[in-house]
Structure 1
């Protein structure tokens, strides 16, 4: 996936799925040893460790630091385990630190989204506007609000590479929470405009393979934001589809008849549900479910819902 992408020496990308964010590994770092960006989901920490211990990753070498693009469960879920296993320092975006230190599960989208993570110690702060030396390369830290207002991206002008987190994927971007003033959409749009102004050959997203069709990806993300702005019902249903797919990837199955109650129980449903016209829970479940079935992202067999994509 990265064969044609000119990576800095000692840098590699470990592509995961949609429950676990991709890992970006810097095996050689002049400052203090190997560095990892983003650590995956908490229930897949064993897999994360196994991937890091592969000979073409860390092997038996130590891990000095873990950096997070943002503190959602799929990006920070392995932090505590890596802190225990390696004694690694955990660095998070400065604006995320209060949420982690108080373990504010609502602010971290844990309880509200039906997700989980393990508390960890914050050892360092990442601030927008600063520059980090990772390996032999300088990376600029860029604010990336929208999907997550506290989020950061990592940009290497020398190699024209952007580590975008969930601010930009090849076919969209991370979910944006509905709000009355549309501030989330405006922030996400501003982040896309920032990316469009950078000199970039390759984007390493939080999910999916690295890609080079950057202008086209920005256009696709902008069109999705425009559709959310124009159609609040589409916006809300997009969020519910993302939450359901994520939870199915964790659970691996869910009884079909439990879907209406699952949606109604999510605190984020009560927030985003205000964008929907009144409807019975079973009708809502059908509207969320059918597009996922049609896209072959999930399947329903024997009354059980199961994911069809990689976690």
Structure 2
């Protein structure tokens, strides 16, 4: 293999962005949504790295859009997977809370974390070293990766070019805003020329983006309801993407069976879930996150709808014990 390089793949929803460290020991950071795994394979191959040559997969955190390709790449090619130790323990125990998949109603096929990462660990790719930075907030086991030679940061869903990752106050705790701010403050002390986040384009002015993210989190401290609105719209929009829209007559029953919807309705907005349905639908339309098309509510952001056959698998961590990789 020639000179090492860092290759960034900006991807449509429902997949998160993917980064390939092309070096003597190739490392893939985040593997996209499960239904897009063939596209993930193709991206790697076109970059000049065969999937079987991958030395390691590193996940910034365990949400379905970041770990969905793990199952296929681990089972077919035996690729080692690394993640923060706190998320690794839940995944390897097939805990129903793993990946928040049940609560979010997002399918994730079973995988095993082989390498448990901690803050300040180093990942060697041959000619480069990636430093593991523990940056909780979006999830409790969220990590970022820093490459000091080119001063490149891979920040997962902590912040994006013009947005921040939604916060799960019911699974990650109400202190997730403070944790996010502490994570941003830590990153702001680094020399960063370029950053790659889990969604959206590369970030050419990382410190500007960090300052903007900090300002937004600080506003959330003063108006916690904004945290819940941000999360509800992001989660519901993702649902509309992976289901390729919801028919008007399906929406009530679907939302009433979602853990996230029940929690936000009752505890964030002090409403009965039945009374929150139309309020949420109206808000995603008002904000431009979704719109009606032939009686279907469709997400506005560009996305690549999963195949219906794949979605019908409906695999959740509670099912993993039967299919556990050995």
TM-score where L is the length of structure 1 = 0.88
Is 1:125 aligned to 2:120, yes or no? no
Equivalent-residue separation in structure 2 for 1:263 and 1:212 (angstroms) = 38
Given the alignment of the two structures, is residue 89 of structure 1 paired with residue 84 of structure 2, yes or no? Answer: no
Q: 1:166–1:173: 8 Å Cα contact kept in structure 2?
A: yes
CA gap of 1:65–1:181, structure 2 versus 1, over 3 A, is closer
Deviation at 1:85, TM superposition (A): 2.5
Aligned counterpart, 1:4? none
Q: 1:47 aligns with which of 34, 39, 45?
A: 39
**Partner of 1:288 in structure 2?**
280
Question: Is the partner of 1:132 in helix, strand or coil?
Answer: strand
Q: What is the TM-score with the length of structure 2 in the denominator?
A: 0.84
Mapped partners of 1:192, 1:52: distance in 2: 30
Which residue of 228, 233, 248 maps to 1:256? 248
Q: Which stretches in structure 2 are left out of the alignment for 5+ residues?
A: 304-326
Q: 2:165 aligns with which of 160, 166, 174?
A: 174
Q: Which residue of 2 aligns with 1:231?
A: 223
Q: Is the 8 A contact 2:292 2:298 kept in 1?
A: yes
Distance 1:40 1:181 in 2: 26
In structure 2, C-alpha distance between the alignment counterparts of 1:62 and 1:181, rounded to whole Å: 39
The CA distance in 1 between the partners of 2:191 and 2:176, in whole Å, is 25
State the number of aligned residues: 299
1:24 alignment counterpart: 19
**Cα gap change, 1:135/1:288 in structure 2, threshold over 3 Å: closer, same or farther?**
farther
Aligned with 2:135 (options 144, 154, 159): 144
Q: 1:280 to 1:139 in 2, by over 3 A?
A: closer
1:1-311 equivalences in 2 (<5 Å): 9-29=4-24, 33-54=25-46, 56-59=47-50, 62-178=53-169, 182-273=174-265, 274-278=267-271, 281=274, 284-311=276-303
How far did residue 202 of structure 1 move?
A: 1.0
Q: CA RMSD in A?
A: 2.2
- What is the distance in 1 between the residues matched to 2:116 and 2:157? 19
Measure the CA separation in 2 of the matches of 1:107 and 1:187: 20
d(CA) in 1 for partners of 2:196, 2:244: 27
Higher relative contact order (CA 8 A, sep 6+): 2
How far apart are the structure 2 equivalents of 1:294 and 1:232? Answer: 20
Per the TM alignment, residue 118 of structure 1 is displaced from its structure 2 partner at its CA by 0.8
Does the aligned pair in 2 maintain the 1:299–1:306 contact within 8 Å?
A: yes
Indicate conservation of the 8 Å contact 2:14/2:241, yes or no. yes
CA distance in 1, matches of 2:213, 2:48: 32
What is the DSSP-based 3-state SS (H/G/I as helix, E as strand, rest coil) of the residue aligned with 2:254? helix
Shift of 1:94: 1.5
